[in-house]
């Protein structure tokens, strides 16, 4: 059984498949506790250091911690903190680790979570590092697939939209490459999957790069839609060219497999039409619920409670 106590969760690449499967199995154990509550993490404190906007990730970590009897503190923006006075990340981490047993960090810079982990004596969980990675989202995405479709092996999985700047699809592609899946990487040319991710992933699984969603929707078991990451474009004229590239509608979904699921890390802009919400394919709000359970598992594992 892999040990997680005190471990940093910075990159999904640090987690071999048995570790991932163990986290997903632990999430199954947590599921009833999400309703019933638990005192498993009583006395433990989680600090959330969010240097970038977030709704789901921060609130679901806080909810997960609270449901396990622990407490949460932190900041959701740098306004009002000493970061405004010029305090650097290393110092912020060295200070906040005195207030908590675990740090959850989101930062606009790639490598920031890794750096925080190096400076911190407490375990650090990466809640999004620039356009690079978002490992806990990938874990909850895998959990959603397993819960909704029974298994991950054997599936055709489409990642659609912004594969260049979208950190969730980077972590998810790395994770999925440890399973027996076929990946369809569907994006406009300028938003193609980051080269280093594509090269690594294609060593292990078949990964087809294409711009045509229409052509492949019939083949997919998982339709994973993403938002074009406007805030990460250096040139907004480039964004204008690709915004709205893909728009999934209920009408388009009539071509999909009967059991195909539609996922999205959220927030959505216009890539998933509202009429998809009432179809049986839509799982993105369910995904939010699985996110709490998965983060309960992670917190319990890293803090040594299970
Ligand atoms: C994502 C993120 O922050 O990378 N959101 C999330 O955590 N669920 C996706 C996005 O912002 O598009």
Structural domain contains residue 256: yes
| Residues 146 and 284 placed together within one structural domain of the fold | yes
**Whether the Cβ atoms of residue 49 and residue 94 lie closer than 8 Å to each other:** no
| Residues 110 and 199 placed together within one structural domain of the fold | no
| Residues 62 and 148 placed together within one structural domain of the fold | no
| Residues 44 and 162 placed together within one structural domain of the fold | no
Measure 181 CA to ligand 1 centroid, in angstroms: 23
Task: Please tell me the predicted confidence (pLDDT) of residue 86.
Answer: 85
| Residues 78 and 165 placed together within one structural domain of the fold | no
10-residue stretch averages of pLDDT, the chain, 306 residues long: 93 98 98 97 98 94 98 92 87 96 97 96 97 98 98 98 98 98 98 98 98 97 97 94 96 98 97 98 98 98 97
Structural domain contains residue 284: yes
- Residue to mutate, 108, 109, 137, ligand 1, most ligand atoms under 8 Å from C-beta: 137
| Residues 123 and 245 placed together within one structural domain of the fold | no
**Whether the Cβ atoms of residue 32 and residue 62 lie closer than 8 Å to each other:** no
Q: If we measure between CA atoms, which residue out of 303, 229, 296 comes closest to residue 269? A: 229
Measure 127 CA to ligand 1 centroid, in angstroms: 9
Q: If we measure between CA atoms, which residue out of 245, 241, 233 comes closest to residue 270? A: 245
Measure 264 CA to ligand 1 centroid, in angstroms: 9
| Residues 123 and 179 placed together within one structural domain of the fold | no
Q: If we measure between CA atoms, which residue out of 231, 218, 230, 211 comes closest to residue 270? A: 230
> What distance lies between CA 288 and its chain's CA centroid?
11
| Residues 116 and 170 placed together within one structural domain of the fold | no
**Whether the Cβ atoms of residue 129 and residue 112 lie closer than 8 Å to each other:** yes
Structural domain contains residue 25: yes
Structural domain contains residue 1: no
Rg (CA), the chain: 19
Dump strand ranges (E) for 155-227. Answer: 156-160, 182-186, 206-210, 222-225
Task: Please tell me the predicted confidence (pLDDT) of residue 10.
Answer: 98
Structural domain contains residue 223: yes
Q: Which residues line ligand 1 (CB under 6 A)?
A: 56-57, 128, 134, 137, 167-168, 227, 265-266
CATH number of the domain within which 85 lies: 3.40.50.1370
Number of compact structural domains in the chain? 2
Dihedral of CA atoms 20, 24, 26, 30 in degrees, nearest 10, equals 150
| Residues 156 and 279 placed together within one structural domain of the fold | yes
Task: Please tell me the predicted confidence (pLDDT) of residue 185.
Answer: 98
| Residues 114 and 188 placed together within one structural domain of the fold | no
| Residues 124 and 162 placed together within one structural domain of the fold | no
Task: Please tell me the predicted confidence (pLDDT) of residue 81.
Answer: 85
Structural domain contains residue 4: no
Burial class (CB in 10 A: 0-12, 13-18, 19+), 85: exposed
Structural domain contains residue 5: no
Q: Return the active site residues.
A: 56-57, 85, 106, 134
Structural domain contains residue 3: no
| Residues 270 and 147 placed together within one structural domain of the fold | yes
Range of the domain at 32: 12-133+291-302
Query: Could you tell me the strand order of the sheet in which 261-263 lies?
Result: 206-210, 182-186, 156-160, 222-225, 261-263
């Amino acid at each position: 059984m892999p040990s997680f106590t005190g471990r940093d969760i910075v990159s999904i690449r640090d987690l071999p498949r048995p570790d991932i499967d163990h986290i997903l199995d632990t999430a199954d154990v947590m599921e009833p506790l999400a309703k019933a509550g638990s005192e498993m993490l009583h006395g433990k404190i989680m600090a959330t250091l969010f240097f970038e906007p977030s709704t789901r990730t921060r609130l679901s970590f806080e909810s997960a911690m609270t449901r396990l009897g622990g407490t949460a503190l932190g900041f959701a923006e740098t306004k009002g903190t000493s970061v405004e006075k010029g305090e650097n990340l290393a110092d912020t981490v060295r200070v906040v680790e005195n207030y908590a047993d675990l740090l959850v960090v989101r930062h606009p810079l790639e490598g920031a979570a890794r750096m925080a982990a190096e400076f911190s004596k407490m375990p650090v969980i990466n809640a999004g590092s620039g356009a690079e990675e978002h490992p806990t989202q990938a874990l909850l995405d895998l959990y959603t697939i397993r819960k909704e479709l029974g298994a991950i092996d054997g599936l055709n999985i489409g990642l659609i939209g912004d594969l260049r700047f979208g950190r969730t699809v980077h972590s998810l592609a790395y994770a999925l490459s440890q399973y027996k899946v076929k990946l369809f990487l569907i994006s406009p040319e300028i938003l193609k999957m980051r080269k280093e991710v594509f090269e690594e992933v294609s060593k292990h699984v078949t990964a087809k790069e294409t711009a045509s969603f229409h052509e492949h929707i019939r083949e997919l078991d998982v339709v994973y839609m993403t938002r074009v990451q406007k805030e990460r474009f250096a040139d907004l004229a480039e964004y204008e060219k690709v915004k709205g590239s893909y728009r999934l509608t209920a009408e388009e979904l009539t071509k999909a497999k009967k059991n195909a699921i539609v996922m999205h890390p959220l927030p959505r802009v216009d890539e998933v039409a509202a009429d998809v919400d009432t179809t049986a394919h839509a799982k993105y709000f369910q995904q939010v619920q699985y996110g709490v359970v998965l983060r309960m598992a992670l917190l319990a594992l890293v803090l040594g409670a299970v």
